[in-house]
Amino acid sequence: MTKINKLVIPVAGLGTRFLPVTKGVPKEMLPIVSKPTIMILLEEAIDAGIEEVLFVINSRKECIKTFFEMEELYEGKVDDIKEITQSIKINYVYQEKPLGSGDAILKAKDFVGNNPFAIIYGDDLIKGKSAIKELIDDYDKYQSNIIGISKVDSKDLSKYGIIEFNENNEINRIIEKPNINEAPSNYAVLGRYIFNPEIFECLEQLKMQSKNEYQLTEAMTMLMKKQKFYGCKFSGKYFDIGSKIGYLKANIEYALDNDELSIELKEYLKNLSI
């Protein structure tokens, strides 16, 4: 059985929904309590047995690289970062123009080689059990492409790729940002994937879509004609930290779980006159 040990995390987007801060700081580096999102994502990957990661960055996001470099100044003070760098090999590739998720993933072709691999989007946080581990467990069962899915509110259907799937969780269609009448289900594609390497042949054939972007969804649709795709209903709670409201909700929920903060924060929230 092929072991999934490589992961790609694209973090080279513009972050327009979270401007102006994202002009100066990558959204993937903004703190969830005191950890940047990318650190929590790597912990999820390590829990899943991933051994090597590739960040797709750009020259405005060099601080992501710096973050994982060990400096004497911090010796003994950042053991949790050290633990990560000792558990997973970190690599970088550049996507200088934000030409979409499809273009970002194509940059990982040489790193991935000819094996199935995992993707975690840099702005999609899932709190709870390692979601990418749950996808890998499904890959071991189905030996085919797996997409992380979860139910979303009807009012949010037009923000996501929405899937059409059967009772065996086999996906036969993804509709990008449908309106409520066109949506084939309430299940959205939420930033976790396991793909066979044939996805790269599809990414290479992509045509530019609206907004001058190459969309990963288009490549998935192409591969779906040749290979099976299954939805994995991950058990954790999803936060879109690329949106202001998602970021705020994530901070509150992670802080409520933090022994140092939860009592005072609960008291504070209770006393807010809202």
Residue ranges that bind ligand UTP, judged by CB under 6 A? 10-17, 28, 56, 95, 98-101, 103-104, 121-123, 242
Burial class (CB in 10 A: 0-12, 13-18, 19+), 142: middle
In the complex, residue closest to ligand UTP by CB: 13
Question: What is the chain's length?
Answer: 274
State which residue, 103 or 138, has the beta carbon closest to ligand UTP: 103
DSSP bridge pairs for 7: 53, 118
State which residue, 62 or 79, has the beta carbon closest to ligand UTP: 62
Tell the smallest beta-carbon distance from residue 245 to ligand UTP (Å): 13
State which residue, 85 or 217, has the beta carbon closest to ligand UTP: 217
State which residue, 183 or 216, has the beta carbon closest to ligand UTP: 216
State which residue, 11 or 250, has the beta carbon closest to ligand UTP: 11
Is omega for the bond preceding 10 within 30 degrees of 0, making it cis? no
Tell the smallest beta-carbon distance from residue 9 to ligand UTP (Å): 7
Q: For residue 42, which of 136, 125, 150 has the smallest C-alpha distance? A: 125
Tell the smallest beta-carbon distance from residue 268 to ligand UTP (Å): 29
CA angle 143, 147, 148 (to 5 degrees): 125
Tell the smallest beta-carbon distance from residue 127 to ligand UTP (Å): 17
Q: Are 95 and 64 in contact (CB under 8 A)?
A: no
Residue 107's alpha-carbon distances to 9, 15, 75, 181, 265, in angstroms, are: 11, 19, 34, 36, 42
Instruction: Give dist(CA 58, CA 11) in Å, integer.
Output: 8
Instruction: Give dist(CA 85, CA 42) in Å, integer.
Output: 9
Tell the smallest beta-carbon distance from residue 95 to ligand UTP (Å): 5
Instruction: Give dist(CA 122, CA 231) in Å, integer.
Output: 20
State which residue, 15 or 231, has the beta carbon closest to ligand UTP: 15
Residue 116's alpha-carbon distances to 17, 90, 100, 111, in angstroms, are: 32, 18, 21, 12
Tokens read off for 7: 């992961």
Tell the smallest beta-carbon distance from residue 236 to ligand UTP (Å): 18
State which residue, 122 or 169, has the beta carbon closest to ligand UTP: 122
Amino acid at position 151, single letter = K
161: helix, strand or coil? strand
